[in-house]
Amino acid sequence: MTRQTALIIDDEPDIRELLVLTLTRMGLTVETAATVREAHERLKEHQYDLCFTDMRLPDGNGQDLVSHITRHYPQLPVAMMTAFGNVDAAVQALKNGAFDFVSKPVDLSVLRRLVQTALKLGEAKKAEAAVSNERLLGDSEPMEQVRQTIAKVARSQAPVFICGESGTGKELVARMVHDLGPRAAGPFVPVNCGAIPSELMESEFFGHRKGSFTGASADKDGLFQAASGGTLFLDEVADLPMHMQVKLLRVIQEKAVRPVGFNGEIPIDVRILSATHKDLQKLVEMGSFRQDLFYRINVIEVRVPPLRERAEDIFLLAEHTLDRIAPEWGIDRPQLSDSARRALRQYGFPGNVRELENILERAVAMCENNVIEVADLRLPQQRPEVANLGMPAATLAPAVPGAVPVLAKPATATVAAPVDASGDLENYIDNLQREAIMKALQETRYNKTKAAQVLGITFRALRYKLKKLGID
């Protein structure tokens, strides 16, 4: 294998020397440039594998150089060296296409990790073809664009903020960004920021030392350490309490964590992705999300389009879901009738892909002879003003006919819905079904045939449901 070559652009001889020494020890060949002009010359002469540039150069600006490299040498990963704590410069460099930044004075262990990640970029490109895009289904133009964006941002180390309505596939997108990037061999650690109790958050994120609080019986690594060398996915990031937002900002800026009860800082090497279905910009305006953190995590934004903006994907997703359900439930592959297809095509899917999956699962349980008819879909009446509120569960008819009529009047039920439907539609529906089935079983002294009659579904449908809901 030929030695890989790096280009260091800095006007300070000391810095050049330090980097040359470090990178040479890592087995790289290193060349240097002290000015923008020299850098341009070197770049024309040689194909580099990695580049570091300073911000301020005697004859120009490192930011422009980053833009130039991104445009003319898109395969070359370039990192910006910034003054410690200069967040604006770091963010700007990432927006210009730098794959990462290093703050000065340069921490050598951070530098080494960064170099390793950069060199893996080349390998990741090869793996790209191998990881199929198949998991994120959809042939529509908007989906194609999302896929292209993912491929592009996967190469960078910049924080990516994924926005889009509930159930659009944000988590899938986050996984693909990880899988297609140089950190694919490292861990992907998703964390639901809304699910960790506020008082445990610091220790969950940053770890703790034994005895640092009651119950801390041993040293424990936090999520940042767990994601080391990989990706930390902050899901539902809008739900982070204020005190954590402050701490997180510090960690992202300084690339180091301080475990609870520990005096020092531990350097971390983690790429941050985040997502929410909420309007984060608005939360910033309302003062419940910090502007500076938003700015820091939202360096690159990926918007996942709602299903109604890509109706041509509905069939593909539906067929794929049915392909998946059949073996899971141990049944023949169900078919959609023509009228059911038409109805799906016309429906607006306020709950997006997740709602489509739920509708189909329910329909499979309901249908006769493995053919799904319009009635089996139980599509809610479409009322645009409700759809716009994005409250899928509340507009869904009860899953089991005649049971739990809490949602009989959708208009008021949207307000009175007992759960936050947006996050947990599936659970919510499962619980409704479970309750209705348990009630019917009790009433019929656990005679399944009779219980099915009470519920108005076939015996077979009841059997699927018992299995699916884990009722014995």
Ligand X SMILES: Nc1ncnc2c1ncn2[C@@H]1O[C@H](COP(=O)(O)OP(=O)(O)OP(=O)(O)O)[C@@H](O)[C@H]1O
Per-residue mark of binding to ligand X, 225-264 (x: CB under 6 A) = ----------------------------------------
The reply on whether position 222 binds ligand X by CB under 6 A is no
Task: Indicate which of Mg ion, ligand X, none lies near residue 167 (CB less than 5 to 8 Å, by partner kind).
Answer: ligand X
Q: Minimum distance between the CB of residue 139 and ligand X, rounded to whole angstroms? A: 10
Looking at 67, 166, 245, 433, which residue binds ligand X (CB under 6 A)?
166
**Helices 62-72 and 87-96 meet at what angle, rounded to 10?**
20
Per-residue mark of binding to ligand X, 180-219 (x: CB under 6 A) = ----------------------------------------
Give the nearer residue to ligand X in terms of CB position, either 301 or 368. Answer: 301
Task: Indicate which of ligand X, Mg ion, none lies near residue 355 (CB less than 5 to 8 Å, by partner kind).
Answer: none
Task: Indicate which of Mg ion, ligand X, none lies near residue 362 (CB less than 5 to 8 Å, by partner kind).
Answer: none
The reply on whether position 353 binds ligand X by CB under 6 A is yes
Residue 335's identity, in one-letter code, is: Q
What are the CA-CA distances from residue 360 to residues 130, 155, 167, 405 (Å)?
31, 36, 15, 21
Give the nearer residue to ligand X in terms of CB position, either 23 or 399. Answer: 399
Distance CA 61, CA 35 (A): 9
* Segment lying near ligand X (by CB under 6 A), choices 22-30, 160-168, 288-296, 436-444: 160-168
Q: Are 368 and 460 in contact (CB under 8 A)?
A: no
Distance CA 328, CA 360 (A): 14
The reply on whether position 167 binds ligand X by CB under 6 A is yes
| Helix (H) or strand (E) run with residue 135 in it | none
Distance CA 220, CA 203 (A): 8
Looking at 168, 245, 298, 395, which residue binds ligand X (CB under 6 A)?
168
DSSP E strand boundaries for 5-122? 5-9, 29-33, 50-54, 56-57, 60-61, 78-83, 100-104
Task: Indicate which of Mg ion, ligand X, none lies near residue 26 (CB less than 5 to 8 Å, by partner kind).
Answer: none
Distance CA 117, CA 115 (A): 5
The residues in 303-342 that bind ligand X, with binding defined as CB under 6 A, are: 317
Torsion of CA 256, 258, 264, 265, to 10 degrees: 0
Q: Are 183 and 99 in contact (CB under 8 A)?
A: no
Q: Minimum distance between the CB of residue 163 and Mg ion, rounded to whole angstroms? A: 11
The reply on whether position 171 binds ligand X by CB under 6 A is yes
Per-residue mark of binding to ligand X, 424-443 (x: CB under 6 A) = --------------------
Distance CA 145, CA 304 (A): 10
Give the nearer residue to ligand X in terms of CB position, either 53 or 166. Answer: 166
Q: Are 472 and 463 in contact (CB under 8 A)?
A: no
Q: Minimum distance between the CB of residue 76 and ligand X, rounded to whole angstroms? A: 32
DSSP E strand boundaries for 260-332? 266-267, 271-276, 300-303
The reply on whether position 354 binds ligand X by CB under 6 A is yes
Looking at 16, 120, 208, 277, which residue binds ligand X (CB under 6 A)?
277
Looking at 68, 170, 183, 255, which residue binds ligand X (CB under 6 A)?
170
Distance CA 451, CA 445 (A): 9
Torsion of CA 62, 101, 132, 120, to 10 degrees: 100
Q: Minimum distance between the CB of residue 354 and ligand X, rounded to whole angstroms? A: 4
Give the nearer residue to ligand X in terms of CB position, either 113 or 354. Answer: 354
Task: Indicate which of Mg ion, ligand X, none lies near residue 465 (CB less than 5 to 8 Å, by partner kind).
Answer: none
Residue 293's identity, in one-letter code, is: L
Site residues for ligand X per CB under 6 A:
136-138, 164, 166-172, 277, 317, 353-354, 357, 422-423
